Structure 1
Amino acid sequence: MARKQPVVSRTRDSRAGKSSVHAQLANEIGLRIVRGDYPPGSILPNEAQWSETFNASRSAVREAIKMLMAKSLLASRPKIGSRVEPRERWNLLDRDVLAWYASSPDREAFLKAVQEFRHIIEPEAAALAATRRTDEQMDEISRACREMGAAVTLEERTGADTRFHLAILRASGNDLLVPLGVLIESAFSHLFLYVTREGDDLDAAQKLHESIERNIRLVRPEAARRAVRKLLANTDKVVERGPE
Protein backbone atom coordinates (compact mmCIF):
# COMPACT_ATOMS: atom_id res chain seq x y z
CA MET A 1 0.00 0.00 0.00
CA ALA A 2 1.42 3.40 -0.99
CA ARG A 3 2.42 5.74 1.80
CA LYS A 4 0.29 8.87 2.10
CA GLN A 5 1.79 12.13 0.94
CA PRO A 6 2.72 14.16 4.04
CA VAL A 7 0.63 17.27 4.57
CA VAL A 8 3.41 19.12 6.39
CA SER A 9 7.16 18.86 6.27
CA ARG A 10 8.95 17.60 9.33
CA THR A 11 11.51 19.97 10.84
CA ARG A 12 13.42 18.75 13.89
CA ASP A 13 16.26 21.08 14.69
CA SER A 14 15.16 24.69 14.98
CA ARG A 15 12.57 26.21 17.27
CA ALA A 16 11.14 28.14 14.31
CA GLY A 17 10.82 24.90 12.36
CA LYS A 18 8.94 23.18 15.16
CA SER A 19 6.61 26.14 15.48
CA SER A 20 5.97 26.07 11.75
CA VAL A 21 5.14 22.36 11.76
CA HIS A 22 2.69 22.43 14.64
CA ALA A 23 1.04 25.57 13.25
CA GLN A 24 0.57 23.80 9.91
CA LEU A 25 -0.84 20.79 11.71
CA ALA A 26 -3.26 22.96 13.69
CA ASN A 27 -4.36 24.64 10.48
CA GLU A 28 -5.04 21.35 8.70
CA ILE A 29 -6.84 19.72 11.62
CA GLY A 30 -8.77 22.89 12.44
CA LEU A 31 -9.97 23.22 8.86
CA ARG A 32 -11.17 19.61 8.89
CA ILE A 33 -13.11 20.23 12.10
CA VAL A 34 -14.78 23.44 10.95
CA ARG A 35 -15.78 22.09 7.54
CA GLY A 36 -17.48 19.13 9.25
CA ASP A 37 -15.10 16.22 8.73
CA TYR A 38 -15.16 15.78 12.51
CA PRO A 39 -18.54 17.01 13.80
CA PRO A 40 -19.11 18.20 17.38
CA GLY A 41 -18.92 15.33 19.84
CA SER A 42 -16.65 13.19 17.70
CA ILE A 43 -13.29 11.89 18.92
CA LEU A 44 -10.23 12.78 16.88
CA PRO A 45 -7.56 10.28 15.88
CA ASN A 46 -4.88 9.90 18.53
CA GLU A 47 -1.37 11.34 18.41
CA ALA A 48 0.12 8.26 16.79
CA GLN A 49 -2.49 8.26 14.03
CA TRP A 50 -2.04 11.97 13.27
CA SER A 51 1.72 11.52 13.35
CA GLU A 52 1.46 8.78 10.73
CA THR A 53 -1.04 10.72 8.61
CA PHE A 54 1.05 13.89 8.48
CA ASN A 55 4.52 12.36 8.78
CA ALA A 56 5.12 14.61 11.79
CA SER A 57 6.43 14.06 15.30
CA ARG A 58 4.07 13.34 18.16
CA SER A 59 5.32 16.43 19.97
CA ALA A 60 4.26 18.59 16.99
CA VAL A 61 0.84 16.91 16.97
CA ARG A 62 0.53 17.48 20.72
CA GLU A 63 1.29 21.20 20.32
CA ALA A 64 -1.21 21.47 17.46
CA ILE A 65 -3.93 19.92 19.61
CA LYS A 66 -3.12 22.38 22.41
CA MET A 67 -3.54 25.25 19.94
CA LEU A 68 -6.96 23.97 18.92
CA MET A 69 -7.97 23.54 22.56
CA ALA A 70 -6.99 27.18 23.18
CA LYS A 71 -9.36 28.16 20.36
CA SER A 72 -12.12 26.12 22.09
CA LEU A 73 -12.50 23.70 19.19
CA LEU A 74 -11.37 20.73 21.26
CA ALA A 75 -11.52 19.46 24.82
CA SER A 76 -9.33 16.72 26.25
CA ARG A 77 -11.08 13.75 27.86
CA PRO A 78 -9.02 11.38 30.06
CA LYS A 79 -8.74 7.89 28.56
CA ILE A 80 -10.88 9.04 25.63
CA GLY A 81 -8.86 11.60 23.70
CA SER A 82 -9.64 14.92 22.06
CA ARG A 83 -13.34 15.56 21.55
CA VAL A 84 -14.71 18.23 19.21
CA GLU A 85 -16.55 20.87 21.22
CA PRO A 86 -20.07 22.12 20.34
CA ARG A 87 -19.96 24.86 17.70
CA GLU A 88 -21.34 27.48 20.10
CA ARG A 89 -18.18 27.13 22.19
CA TRP A 90 -15.80 27.79 19.31
CA ASN A 91 -13.92 31.07 19.43
CA LEU A 92 -15.28 32.51 16.19
CA LEU A 93 -13.43 35.77 16.78
CA ASP A 94 -10.11 33.98 16.43
CA ARG A 95 -8.36 34.76 13.13
CA ASP A 96 -7.65 31.14 12.31
CA VAL A 97 -11.13 29.89 13.18
CA LEU A 98 -12.67 32.64 11.06
CA ALA A 99 -10.46 31.71 8.12
CA TRP A 100 -11.46 28.04 8.45
CA TYR A 101 -15.11 29.01 8.80
CA ALA A 102 -14.87 31.17 5.66
CA SER A 103 -13.37 28.23 3.75
CA SER A 104 -16.11 25.82 4.76
CA PRO A 105 -18.58 24.49 2.16
CA ASP A 106 -21.45 26.63 3.48
CA ARG A 107 -19.80 29.92 2.60
CA GLU A 108 -23.08 31.74 1.99
CA ALA A 109 -24.17 31.10 5.58
CA PHE A 110 -20.84 32.49 6.75
CA LEU A 111 -21.24 35.62 4.62
CA LYS A 112 -24.75 36.20 5.91
CA ALA A 113 -23.51 35.86 9.49
CA VAL A 114 -20.78 38.41 8.77
CA GLN A 115 -23.37 40.76 7.28
CA GLU A 116 -25.59 40.48 10.35
CA PHE A 117 -22.60 41.32 12.51
CA ARG A 118 -21.80 44.33 10.34
CA HIS A 119 -25.38 45.63 10.56
CA ILE A 120 -25.11 45.55 14.34
CA ILE A 121 -21.67 47.17 14.61
CA GLU A 122 -20.73 49.35 11.65
CA PRO A 123 -23.49 52.01 11.45
CA GLU A 124 -22.94 53.02 15.06
CA ALA A 125 -19.16 52.84 14.68
CA ALA A 126 -19.35 55.28 11.76
CA ALA A 127 -21.57 57.65 13.74
CA LEU A 128 -19.08 57.58 16.61
CA ALA A 129 -16.17 58.08 14.22
CA ALA A 130 -17.82 61.21 12.83
CA THR A 131 -17.61 62.89 16.24
CA ARG A 132 -14.52 61.25 17.74
CA ARG A 133 -12.01 60.68 14.95
CA THR A 134 -8.65 62.41 15.03
CA ASP A 135 -7.13 64.11 12.01
CA GLU A 136 -4.73 61.20 11.60
CA GLN A 137 -7.59 58.69 11.71
CA MET A 138 -9.54 60.72 9.16
CA ASP A 139 -6.51 60.71 6.89
CA GLU A 140 -6.39 56.92 7.18
CA ILE A 141 -10.08 56.56 6.27
CA SER A 142 -9.80 59.00 3.35
CA ARG A 143 -6.63 57.37 2.02
CA ALA A 144 -8.22 53.91 2.04
CA CYS A 145 -11.26 55.30 0.22
CA ARG A 146 -9.07 56.88 -2.47
CA GLU A 147 -7.06 53.68 -2.83
CA MET A 148 -10.28 51.75 -3.41
CA GLY A 149 -11.17 54.05 -6.29
CA ALA A 150 -7.68 53.84 -7.78
CA ALA A 151 -7.29 50.07 -7.40
CA VAL A 152 -6.49 48.16 -10.56
CA THR A 153 -6.76 44.59 -9.29
CA LEU A 154 -9.32 42.81 -7.16
CA GLU A 155 -6.66 42.16 -4.53
CA GLU A 156 -5.79 45.85 -4.30
CA ARG A 157 -9.43 46.85 -3.98
CA THR A 158 -10.15 44.21 -1.37
CA GLY A 159 -7.18 45.32 0.70
CA ALA A 160 -8.21 48.98 0.56
CA ASP A 161 -11.84 48.09 1.32
CA THR A 162 -10.79 46.14 4.41
CA ARG A 163 -8.51 48.96 5.59
CA PHE A 164 -11.36 51.45 5.15
CA HIS A 165 -13.75 49.58 7.44
CA LEU A 166 -11.15 48.74 10.06
CA ALA A 167 -10.02 52.38 10.14
CA ILE A 168 -13.59 53.44 10.93
CA LEU A 169 -13.77 50.97 13.81
CA ARG A 170 -10.53 52.40 15.21
CA ALA A 171 -11.78 55.96 14.74
CA SER A 172 -14.92 55.19 16.75
CA GLY A 173 -12.88 55.66 19.91
CA ASN A 174 -14.47 52.60 21.53
CA ASP A 175 -11.75 50.32 22.84
CA LEU A 176 -14.04 47.28 22.67
CA LEU A 177 -14.57 47.69 18.93
CA VAL A 178 -10.89 47.91 18.04
CA PRO A 179 -9.96 44.27 18.80
CA LEU A 180 -13.12 43.12 17.02
CA GLY A 181 -11.89 44.87 13.91
CA VAL A 182 -8.53 43.13 14.03
CA LEU A 183 -10.05 39.72 14.65
CA ILE A 184 -12.65 39.89 11.89
CA GLU A 185 -10.25 41.19 9.26
CA SER A 186 -10.03 37.80 7.59
CA ALA A 187 -13.81 37.50 7.54
CA PHE A 188 -14.16 40.89 5.85
CA SER A 189 -11.55 39.92 3.29
CA HIS A 190 -13.50 36.80 2.33
CA LEU A 191 -16.70 38.82 2.14
CA PHE A 192 -15.24 41.53 -0.09
CA LEU A 193 -13.62 39.00 -2.42
CA TYR A 194 -17.02 37.36 -2.78
CA VAL A 195 -19.08 40.47 -3.47
CA THR A 196 -16.69 42.71 -5.40
CA ARG A 197 -17.80 42.92 -9.04
CA GLU A 198 -16.92 44.73 -12.21
CA GLY A 199 -18.63 47.72 -13.80
CA ASP A 200 -21.77 49.15 -12.26
CA ASP A 201 -21.43 47.28 -8.97
CA LEU A 202 -17.95 48.70 -8.37
CA ASP A 203 -19.01 52.23 -9.28
CA ALA A 204 -22.03 52.09 -6.98
CA ALA A 205 -19.99 50.63 -4.12
CA GLN A 206 -17.32 53.31 -4.53
CA LYS A 207 -19.89 56.10 -4.34
CA LEU A 208 -21.36 54.59 -1.18
CA HIS A 209 -17.92 54.42 0.44
CA GLU A 210 -17.23 58.01 -0.58
CA SER A 211 -20.50 59.06 1.06
CA ILE A 212 -19.44 57.40 4.31
CA GLU A 213 -16.02 59.06 4.15
CA ARG A 214 -17.52 62.48 3.41
CA ASN A 215 -20.03 62.36 6.26
CA ILE A 216 -17.41 61.26 8.78
CA ARG A 217 -15.09 64.03 7.57
CA LEU A 218 -17.86 66.66 7.80
CA VAL A 219 -18.86 65.50 11.31
CA ARG A 220 -22.33 64.30 10.33
CA PRO A 221 -22.95 61.28 12.58
CA GLU A 222 -26.55 60.57 11.53
CA ALA A 223 -25.69 60.90 7.84
CA ALA A 224 -22.68 58.61 8.34
CA ARG A 225 -24.93 56.06 10.02
CA ARG A 226 -27.40 56.17 7.12
CA ALA A 227 -24.62 55.92 4.54
CA VAL A 228 -23.27 52.74 6.14
CA ARG A 229 -26.75 51.24 6.21
CA LYS A 230 -27.12 51.94 2.49
CA LEU A 231 -23.79 50.28 1.80
CA LEU A 232 -24.72 47.22 3.84
CA ALA A 233 -28.11 46.97 2.11
CA ASN A 234 -26.31 47.03 -1.23
CA THR A 235 -23.93 44.30 -0.06
CA ASP A 236 -26.87 42.23 1.20
CA LYS A 237 -28.32 42.21 -2.32
CA VAL A 238 -25.05 41.04 -3.84
CA VAL A 239 -24.70 38.24 -1.27
CA GLU A 240 -28.28 37.13 -1.96
CA ARG A 241 -27.53 37.11 -5.68
CA GLY A 242 -24.70 34.68 -5.14
CA PRO A 243 -21.39 34.23 -6.95
CA GLU A 244 -21.13 34.83 -10.67
Structure 2
Amino acid sequence: MFQTSSALHRNVHSQVADRVGSSIVRGEIGVGEALPPEMQICEMMDVSRTVVREAIRTLTGKGLIESRPKSGTRVRPPQQWNQLDPDVLRWHLETADIDRYLAKLFQLRTAVEPGAAALAAVHAAEDDIARIRAGCDGMDAAETNEAFVAADIAFHQSIYFATRNEFFWPIAQMFEITLRQSFTIAAPGAHRPRALIEHRAVLDAIATGDADGARDATVVLLQHSADDLVRIRGREFEAPARPAKRP
Protein backbone atom coordinates (compact mmCIF):
# COMPACT_ATOMS: atom_id res chain seq x y z
CA MET A 1 0.00 0.00 0.00
CA PHE A 2 1.03 3.60 -0.62
CA GLN A 3 3.61 2.91 -3.30
CA THR A 4 5.94 5.74 -4.16
CA SER A 5 5.09 7.56 -7.41
CA SER A 6 7.13 9.90 -9.57
CA ALA A 7 6.21 13.10 -7.73
CA LEU A 8 8.49 12.87 -4.71
CA HIS A 9 10.24 16.14 -5.50
CA ARG A 10 7.28 18.00 -4.02
CA ASN A 11 6.92 19.03 -0.38
CA VAL A 12 6.29 16.41 2.26
CA HIS A 13 2.52 16.71 2.63
CA SER A 14 2.17 16.60 -1.17
CA GLN A 15 4.26 13.43 -1.21
CA VAL A 16 1.96 11.84 1.35
CA ALA A 17 -1.15 12.96 -0.54
CA ASP A 18 0.37 11.59 -3.73
CA ARG A 19 1.04 8.17 -2.27
CA VAL A 20 -2.33 7.84 -0.56
CA GLY A 21 -4.22 9.29 -3.54
CA SER A 22 -2.58 6.97 -6.04
CA SER A 23 -3.36 4.01 -3.79
CA ILE A 24 -7.02 5.01 -3.77
CA VAL A 25 -7.16 5.42 -7.55
CA ARG A 26 -5.46 2.04 -8.00
CA GLY A 27 -8.20 0.50 -5.86
CA GLU A 28 -5.90 -0.62 -3.07
CA ILE A 29 -8.26 1.19 -0.69
CA GLY A 30 -11.77 0.49 -1.92
CA VAL A 31 -14.84 2.70 -2.01
CA GLY A 32 -16.29 3.00 1.48
CA GLU A 33 -13.16 1.64 3.13
CA ALA A 34 -11.48 3.63 5.88
CA LEU A 35 -7.97 4.96 5.62
CA PRO A 36 -5.58 3.72 8.31
CA PRO A 37 -5.60 5.85 11.48
CA GLU A 38 -3.49 9.00 11.41
CA MET A 39 -0.81 7.61 13.70
CA GLN A 40 -0.48 4.47 11.60
CA ILE A 41 0.06 6.57 8.46
CA CYS A 42 2.61 8.66 10.38
CA GLU A 43 4.54 5.53 11.28
CA MET A 44 4.26 4.00 7.80
CA MET A 45 5.57 7.14 6.09
CA ASP A 46 7.74 8.54 8.87
CA VAL A 47 5.98 11.90 8.94
CA SER A 48 4.24 14.05 11.54
CA ARG A 49 0.52 14.21 12.26
CA THR A 50 0.49 17.76 10.90
CA VAL A 51 1.77 16.48 7.56
CA VAL A 52 -0.81 13.68 7.46
CA ARG A 53 -3.66 16.03 8.30
CA GLU A 54 -2.64 18.44 5.55
CA ALA A 55 -2.49 15.53 3.09
CA ILE A 56 -5.96 14.42 4.19
CA ARG A 57 -7.28 17.94 3.62
CA THR A 58 -5.75 17.91 0.13
CA LEU A 59 -7.40 14.60 -0.78
CA THR A 60 -10.70 15.77 0.71
CA GLY A 61 -10.54 18.82 -1.54
CA LYS A 62 -10.08 16.55 -4.55
CA GLY A 63 -13.21 14.64 -3.56
CA LEU A 64 -11.46 11.29 -2.96
CA ILE A 65 -12.24 10.98 0.74
CA GLU A 66 -14.50 12.34 3.43
CA SER A 67 -14.22 12.35 7.21
CA ARG A 68 -17.18 11.73 9.46
CA PRO A 69 -17.43 11.44 13.25
CA LYS A 70 -17.24 7.86 14.49
CA SER A 71 -16.78 6.39 10.98
CA GLY A 72 -13.32 7.77 10.23
CA THR A 73 -11.94 8.91 6.90
CA ARG A 74 -13.36 6.85 4.05
CA VAL A 75 -13.00 6.65 0.28
CA ARG A 76 -15.80 8.23 -1.73
CA PRO A 77 -17.21 6.74 -4.98
CA PRO A 78 -15.27 7.74 -8.12
CA GLN A 79 -18.34 9.62 -9.36
CA GLN A 80 -17.68 12.11 -6.57
CA TRP A 81 -13.96 12.59 -7.29
CA ASN A 82 -12.76 15.70 -9.08
CA GLN A 83 -11.82 13.79 -12.20
CA LEU A 84 -10.40 16.91 -13.89
CA ASP A 85 -7.97 17.58 -11.05
CA PRO A 86 -4.40 17.30 -12.42
CA ASP A 87 -3.29 14.90 -9.68
CA VAL A 88 -6.34 12.65 -10.11
CA LEU A 89 -5.73 12.58 -13.86
CA ARG A 90 -2.08 11.71 -13.31
CA TRP A 91 -2.94 8.92 -10.87
CA HIS A 92 -5.32 7.45 -13.41
CA LEU A 93 -2.68 7.62 -16.14
CA GLU A 94 -0.10 5.86 -13.98
CA THR A 95 -2.22 2.71 -13.93
CA ALA A 96 -4.56 3.06 -16.93
CA ASP A 97 -4.80 0.63 -19.80
CA ILE A 98 -3.59 2.97 -22.53
CA ASP A 99 -6.05 1.83 -25.20
CA ARG A 100 -9.02 2.14 -22.87
CA TYR A 101 -7.76 5.55 -21.79
CA LEU A 102 -7.41 6.76 -25.38
CA ALA A 103 -10.91 5.50 -26.23
CA LYS A 104 -12.40 7.48 -23.34
CA LEU A 105 -10.43 10.55 -24.30
CA PHE A 106 -11.80 10.38 -27.83
CA GLN A 107 -15.31 10.03 -26.46
CA LEU A 108 -14.85 13.28 -24.55
CA ARG A 109 -13.26 15.14 -27.45
CA THR A 110 -15.91 13.90 -29.88
CA ALA A 111 -18.69 15.11 -27.63
CA VAL A 112 -17.22 18.50 -26.81
CA GLU A 113 -14.52 19.72 -29.18
CA PRO A 114 -16.58 20.39 -32.36
CA GLY A 115 -18.96 22.49 -30.28
CA ALA A 116 -16.05 24.32 -28.66
CA ALA A 117 -14.65 25.19 -32.08
CA ALA A 118 -18.04 26.50 -33.19
CA LEU A 119 -18.32 28.67 -30.07
CA ALA A 120 -14.78 29.93 -30.59
CA ALA A 121 -15.73 31.03 -34.10
CA VAL A 122 -18.50 33.15 -32.60
CA HIS A 123 -16.80 34.50 -29.48
CA ALA A 124 -13.03 34.53 -30.07
CA ALA A 125 -11.30 37.88 -29.73
CA GLU A 126 -8.22 38.85 -31.71
CA ASP A 127 -5.86 37.67 -28.97
CA ASP A 128 -7.66 34.30 -28.86
CA ILE A 129 -7.21 33.84 -32.60
CA ALA A 130 -3.57 34.89 -32.26
CA ARG A 131 -2.98 32.13 -29.70
CA ILE A 132 -4.68 29.51 -31.88
CA ARG A 133 -2.60 30.68 -34.84
CA ALA A 134 0.57 30.53 -32.73
CA GLY A 135 -0.17 26.89 -31.91
CA CYS A 136 -0.64 26.13 -35.60
CA ASP A 137 2.54 27.97 -36.54
CA GLY A 138 4.41 26.14 -33.78
CA MET A 139 3.33 22.79 -35.19
CA ASP A 140 4.47 23.86 -38.65
CA ALA A 141 7.86 25.03 -37.38
CA ALA A 142 8.50 22.13 -34.98
CA GLU A 143 11.76 20.30 -35.58
CA THR A 144 11.19 17.63 -32.94
CA ASN A 145 8.24 15.46 -31.96
CA GLU A 146 8.28 17.05 -28.51
CA ALA A 147 7.93 20.56 -29.96
CA PHE A 148 5.17 19.40 -32.30
CA VAL A 149 3.22 17.86 -29.42
CA ALA A 150 3.60 20.99 -27.26
CA ALA A 151 2.33 23.23 -30.06
CA ASP A 152 -0.53 20.82 -30.84
CA ILE A 153 -1.66 20.87 -27.21
CA ALA A 154 -1.46 24.68 -27.14
CA PHE A 155 -3.57 24.85 -30.30
CA HIS A 156 -6.40 22.78 -28.83
CA GLN A 157 -6.23 24.46 -25.43
CA SER A 158 -6.52 27.87 -27.09
CA ILE A 159 -9.74 26.84 -28.85
CA TYR A 160 -11.39 25.94 -25.54
CA PHE A 161 -10.27 29.21 -23.95
CA ALA A 162 -11.53 31.09 -27.03
CA THR A 163 -15.09 29.93 -26.31
CA ARG A 164 -15.10 32.62 -23.61
CA ASN A 165 -17.09 30.10 -21.58
CA GLU A 166 -15.43 29.25 -18.27
CA PHE A 167 -17.11 25.84 -18.14
CA PHE A 168 -14.96 24.74 -21.09
CA TRP A 169 -11.71 25.95 -19.54
CA PRO A 170 -11.11 23.00 -17.17
CA ILE A 171 -11.08 20.71 -20.21
CA ALA A 172 -8.40 22.88 -21.79
CA GLN A 173 -6.36 22.74 -18.59
CA MET A 174 -6.55 18.95 -18.37
CA PHE A 175 -5.20 18.62 -21.92
CA GLU A 176 -1.68 19.33 -20.71
CA ILE A 177 -1.83 15.92 -19.03
CA THR A 178 -4.32 13.91 -21.05
CA LEU A 179 -3.51 14.86 -24.63
CA ARG A 180 0.24 14.54 -24.24
CA GLN A 181 0.02 10.75 -24.15
CA SER A 182 -2.23 10.58 -27.21
CA PHE A 183 -0.30 13.16 -29.24
CA THR A 184 3.07 11.66 -28.37
CA ILE A 185 1.96 8.30 -29.75
CA ALA A 186 0.77 9.85 -33.00
CA ALA A 187 3.44 12.54 -33.50
CA PRO A 188 6.06 10.40 -35.32
CA GLY A 189 3.56 9.33 -38.02
CA ALA A 190 3.77 10.28 -41.68
CA HIS A 191 0.38 11.98 -41.37
CA ARG A 192 1.84 15.25 -40.09
CA PRO A 193 1.48 17.27 -43.35
CA ARG A 194 -2.19 16.31 -43.55
CA ALA A 195 -2.70 17.14 -39.89
CA LEU A 196 -1.25 20.60 -40.42
CA ILE A 197 -3.70 21.26 -43.25
CA GLU A 198 -6.60 20.13 -41.07
CA HIS A 199 -5.50 22.29 -38.14
CA ARG A 200 -5.24 25.28 -40.51
CA ALA A 201 -8.78 24.58 -41.69
CA VAL A 202 -10.05 24.79 -38.11
CA LEU A 203 -8.06 27.98 -37.52
CA ASP A 204 -9.32 29.61 -40.73
CA ALA A 205 -12.95 28.85 -39.92
CA ILE A 206 -12.61 30.26 -36.40
CA ALA A 207 -10.76 33.34 -37.65
CA THR A 208 -13.51 34.10 -40.19
CA GLY A 209 -16.33 33.51 -37.72
CA ASP A 210 -17.62 30.43 -39.56
CA ALA A 211 -19.13 28.36 -36.74
CA ASP A 212 -20.45 25.57 -38.98
CA GLY A 213 -17.14 25.38 -40.82
CA ALA A 214 -15.19 25.24 -37.54
CA ARG A 215 -17.40 22.44 -36.26
CA ASP A 216 -17.10 20.44 -39.48
CA ALA A 217 -13.34 20.95 -39.76
CA THR A 218 -12.90 19.74 -36.17
CA VAL A 219 -14.97 16.64 -36.87
CA VAL A 220 -12.70 15.81 -39.82
CA LEU A 221 -9.59 16.44 -37.73
CA LEU A 222 -10.81 14.14 -34.95
CA GLN A 223 -11.85 11.42 -37.38
CA HIS A 224 -8.42 11.36 -38.99
CA SER A 225 -6.73 11.48 -35.58
CA ALA A 226 -8.70 8.38 -34.60
CA ASP A 227 -7.76 6.71 -37.89
CA ASP A 228 -4.09 7.45 -37.22
CA LEU A 229 -4.28 5.84 -33.78
CA VAL A 230 -6.02 2.81 -35.25
CA ARG A 231 -3.07 2.33 -37.60
CA ILE A 232 -0.56 2.85 -34.80
CA ARG A 233 -2.31 0.96 -31.99
CA GLY A 234 -4.26 -1.57 -34.06
CA ARG A 235 -7.67 -0.98 -32.48
CA GLU A 236 -10.72 1.22 -32.88
CA PHE A 237 -11.19 4.58 -31.21
CA GLU A 238 -14.50 6.35 -31.16
CA ALA A 239 -14.63 9.45 -33.34
CA PRO A 240 -17.47 11.48 -34.78
CA ALA A 241 -19.18 10.75 -38.04
CA ARG A 242 -17.91 12.85 -40.89
CA PRO A 243 -20.04 15.95 -41.46
CA ALA A 244 -22.70 15.74 -44.14
CA LYS A 245 -22.27 18.03 -47.07
CA ARG A 246 -24.31 21.19 -46.70
CA PRO A 247 -26.77 22.08 -49.47
Q: Please, which of 202, 215, 229 is the counterpart of residue 212 of structure 1?
A: 202
Quick check: 2:29–2:35 contact (8 Å CA) kept in 1? yes
1:137, CA displacement in angstroms? 1.2
Which is further off, 95-104 or 66-75? 95-104
Q: Please, which of 86, 90, 102 is the counterpart of residue 95 of structure 1?
A: 86
Which is further off, 41-50 or 63-72? 41-50
The aligned counterpart of 2:169 is 178
Where do 5+ consecutive residues of structure 1 fail to align? 11-16
The aligned counterpart of 1:46 is 37
Q: Secondary structure at the match of 1:34?
A: helix
The aligned counterpart of 1:229 is 219
| Distance change >3 Å, CA 107–CA 61, structure 1 → 2 | farther
Quick check: 2:136–2:200 contact (8 Å CA) kept in 1? yes
- State the distance in 2 between where 1:104 and 1:63 align: 25
1:243, CA displacement in angstroms? 4.5
Which is further off, 158-167 or 196-205? 196-205
Structure 2 counterpart of 1:138, one-letter code: I
Quick check: 2:114–2:214 contact (8 Å CA) kept in 1? yes
1:156-181 per-position Cα deviation (integer Å, ceiling 9, x unaligned)? 22221111111111112223222432
> Scaled by the length of structure 2, what TM-score is found?
0.82
The aligned counterpart of 2:239 is none
1:81-133 per-position Cα deviation (integer Å, ceiling 9, x unaligned)? 32111111111121211121222233332322222111121111111212322
Which ranges of 4 or more aligned residues in structure 1 deviate by more than 6 Å? 5-8
Which is further off, 149-158 or 90-99? 149-158
| Distance change >3 Å, CA 56–CA 241, structure 1 → 2 | farther
The aligned counterpart of 1:14 is none
Quick check: 1:6–1:53 contact (8 Å CA) kept in 2? no
The aligned counterpart of 1:82 is 73
Which is further off, 165-174 or 98-107? 98-107
Work out the percentage of aligned pairs sharing the same amino acid.
35
Q: Please, which of 150, 154, 159 is the counterpart of residue 145 of structure 2?
A: 154
- State the distance in 2 between where 1:6 and 1:123 align: 39
1:217, CA displacement in angstroms? 2.1
The aligned counterpart of 1:13 is none
1:39, CA displacement in angstroms? 2.4
Structure 1 counterpart of 2:109, one-letter code: R
1:7, CA displacement in angstroms? 7.9
Aligned length: 231
Q: Secondary structure at the match of 2:66?
A: strand
Quick check: 1:127–1:216 contact (8 Å CA) kept in 2? yes
1:40-90 per-position Cα deviation (integer Å, ceiling 9, x unaligned)? 222222222222222221211111111111111112243443211111111
* Residue 24 of structure 2 corresponds to residue 33 of structure 1: yes
Q: Secondary structure at the match of 2:74?
A: strand
> Scaled by the length of structure 1, what TM-score is found?
0.83
- State the distance in 2 between where 1:78 and 1:203 align: 60
Quick check: 2:123–2:164 contact (8 Å CA) kept in 1? yes
